[in-house]
Structure 1
Amino acid sequence: MMKKFLNSLLLGCLLLAAAPFAAAQETTTPGFYKDLFMSSGVNLSSRKTLPAAESLGLSYEYYAGKDTEIQTRLYSGSEQDTNGVLLYPDGAPRFRMLYVNGGGATLHGKSLELSGRQVLRQFYRAGGSYCGSCAGSFLSGRNVDAREDRRLGYLHIFPYNTSNTGLKKERVGHAIPEKSPLTRYRDFGGDQYVADIYHNNGNWLSLKEGPHLADTEILATYDTPGKRPHEGAAIWAYKTKPQEGRIINIGSHPEGIAEGERLELTEACFLYALDGVGTPTIKGTLLAGETRVMDRETSDDDPAHTRIGDRQYHHFRFEVAASGTRVSITLEGEAGIDYSLFLRKGSPAFQGQADFADASEGHRKTLRKSLSAGSWFASVQCVSVIQAEKDESESHYVYSGETRLLNGVAYTLRMDQKLRRTRREITSVSSR
């Protein structure tokens, strides 16, 4: 009996200890087509599976080929998808995170051409998070070592130089600082140390000097006694503006491991990146009696009035001056497309995070509600989604079905208000 009790107690303690990490694993952010896009393209490792994404249950797509024409079509856009796979028609990120594999950073960046690099910069600045290993880490930066110019081919979204470790085909250890955000997600065996991580010509940051120290979070440090990067930053994060994504750079290669603490390390990095996506953009303010037309295309460069993409949300603010005001919100979309309409007081609304909702099928929606005074938000979601399948070579995904979603679908949104008079007010008027 005592043994059974102790076993139950031990199981309960284990479940309790695991609970915070299990909850973190289920983190999600609505308003994106999928969770992650993996870049395994020209001059990068042609990885087609990502163990941490699999173990976390993340939805993802990738490009894993050497064809610059396909890469350009995917990232920079095509006639079918003028904004490319990474962006919605209004320039918002279509995936929560971009992950870039190892390989040759400069050559890969140049293969993207300026148009592709601008797309990746827009992805980050509009709220998508970025994570890169080795070459992917170099790619995000300004340049290498003490070079003063900005390197052609790099993204410059991490606005500082990183340094070469000088270590080739070695195994290194990573120490996780006590206050590292990674400890919110995994405990790394209780000793906050991860051993035997493959490293090949990766990068690092000094913790002793440099302008990067002011606004860079150190997530892990190198354990390489007697060698250049020892006790320097091995993994770091950067996020200074709420509307932008979070950058997480990994100097080594834990990403290919499918079990143990090296997998946990990649999982924790991904989760922290995903939790750092930018705040929702507000398209504008709805005015009573006016119809908002959302029919512009990417080429019009008018994101406040641009069409909506698959699984995307558009958010609008409106004011209610007096409690009891009768508010009517009417949505008219394109036939054959499913939209949802949500209302929420004080902050943007989402499915499951709304005071009022019409999530029925169809392209016409109306919400008529008596609302309290204050700031309210009307949020539109395009529920319909494209069909994605791997091409014959399995190097990338091809889209079918409602392909008009790629360039966005139009809709109109109208808000009307009428202050409802109380019975006392009506009686007072009638008795005059």
Structure 2
Amino acid sequence: MVETNPGIAPQGTVAGVRYGPALALLASLFFMWGFITVINNTLLPHLRSVFDLNYTQTTLIESVWFIAYFVASIPSAKLIQRIGYKPALVTGLCVMAVGALGMVPAAQIPSFEVTLVALFVIASGITLLQVAANPYVAVIGPPESSESRLTLVQAFNSMGTFFAPYFGGYLILSRTVGGTSLEGTQLTEAERLADAQATQLPYVMVAVVLLAIALVIWRSNLPALGSATRRVSKEARKKLSLWKHPNLVFGVPAIFIYLIAEIGVANLFILFVIQPDIAGITPAVAANYLVLLWGGMMVGRFAGAYLMRRYNARHVLAAFALFAMLVMIGAATLHGPVAMWCLILVGLGHSIMFPAIFALGIKGLGPLTEEASGLLIMAIAGGALVVVQGWLADSYGLQASFWLTVACEVYVLWYALVGSRTRAEKEGITEEDALQASA
């Protein structure tokens, strides 16, 4: 649960402690979970080759990953309430390290089922970090600069997603027969076994880094958060209803649906561009182009932050959603390298969707912001429905499955123009009156 601290000082201190070092340390967490999440984009084509998976089975891997957000989010919130933010951050990092080490026996056996369990454990640890770190970053400094702080650490998250394809491409795909062969190449059992073991070193390296960060955080002096305001907020929201705020009601499915689009594109990118009628390249080479997709998201996030300081956030979101819809239509209908570049460009369109939808979804909710934030975080589980796109790819073709992504962009566009309007905006009243009307 989000805590707000009545002792926040206006000059960059919290209860007399500078928050700059804490923010820098927390930025490393955002980098790591972005990095580890995007390693999956190179892991999926690798596992598809090793275990001879169809598209449905391949996307099931990512579904298991995002199911963890739904399963672990509420227990994570309860754990944070029980042990506090700092121990929760350390616990989340240790859980991730255990999952990363679980990839070693999964590769040695090799076992698809053990791989799924290990990835679920990693994702559960990331969920705990998400639930703890996001609100912590928001409240450790002056409230007027909370959006700036969140944007800054999200940029580090994007930096992690930018570098991950290089890491996965070099240490996984480029070191395997499947990763350096064209689509359709048949591997022998010996080659599959050798390829499977290529994931051991990268995940051991990840586990070591996670444990090192956990040790640093454990020994650090992170500012503590007070609970007085949380108790006041709890009393204030007893008679208020979340469901009378349309920007939240439509915002939760907007996050859910957006995640289907983002995860579907990212995880099927390599499998799409290696097709002979698209780019006809090897998975290892395709990983280098995947970097451009995530790089576009990083650039778009900075550009979007700049634009939203000058223009209405709803209009900026609508423009990005319209752009994403158009390039996805291109990816679903065109052929050759142009289709690949359409898929790369959608990263630019997707860049601001999560933070913009999140901000619009909690706008004007006052003491209801905590619960609203929790619902929006749980909606990240929408990424689990990427398995639906896998089924569509098996049934109608990989390229045709991107029409599902087009439909997702349409909903986000509608939300930006219509669904994100608050109750106060619709009824021409103040936000305070809108909150009272929700009682």
Normalising by structure 1, report the TM-score. Answer: 0.23
**Structure number with higher strand proportion:** 1
**Structure with more of its chain in helix, by fraction:** 2
Whose relative contact order is higher, 1 or 2, with alpha carbons under 8 Å and at least 6 apart? Answer: 2
Name which one, 1 or 2, has greater alpha-carbon Rg. Answer: 1
